[in-house]
A = this chain, B = another copy of it.
Amino acid sequence: MSELADEGLVRQWRGLLARHAAVFGALECELQSKHGLGVSEFEALERLATGEAKCRGAELTDAVHLSQSATSRLVARMEREGLVERAMCELDRRGIFVSLTEEGLRRYEQAKPTHRAILKETLTFDD
């Protein structure tokens, strides 16, 4: 039953995949070549720049749509590059607080116009 509804779902999913690939690919290419940032790095920077100053690991994991382990290494990379800082969380000493460095904020603000321009170019109106 509903062979037709299935076809609709598949078309929808195909569209979602295609749009995601187009935007993600363009962002990856431009952010990397112009600012030395990956898409995940930028998403993390944006979360840190616009949310509360300090951010628990789990919140960052949600924001970047990666696994916990990938997020941990993402933060490690960004810390190595001087974009973020890790601080022990006093209330729960298992956890960490991640925060932007000045350099991180600067890089985010430099990359932001590029990011928005790519979105404008590649995001079609049919969502």
Q: Which residues of A line the B interface, CB within 8 A?
A: 5-6, 9-10, 12-13, 15-21, 23, 43, 65, 116, 119-120, 123, 126-127
Contacts and interface: CB of A to CB of B under 8 A. Distances in A.
**Which DSSP category, helix, strand, loop or mixed, fits chain A's interface?**
helix
Given A10-B116, A119-B9, A17 B65 contact: yes
Given A6-B116, A16-B127, 5 more contacts: A9-B116, A10-B116, A13-B123, A21-B65, A126-B127
B12 A127 contact: yes
26 contacts: A5-B120, A6-B116, A9-B116, A9-B119, A9-B120, A9-B123, A10-B116, A10-B119, A12-B119, A12-B123, A12-B127, A13-B23, A13-B119, A13-B123, A15-B127, A16-B16, A16-B20, A16-B23, A16-B123, A16-B127, A17-B43, A17-B65, A18-B65, A20-B20, A126-B127, A127-B127
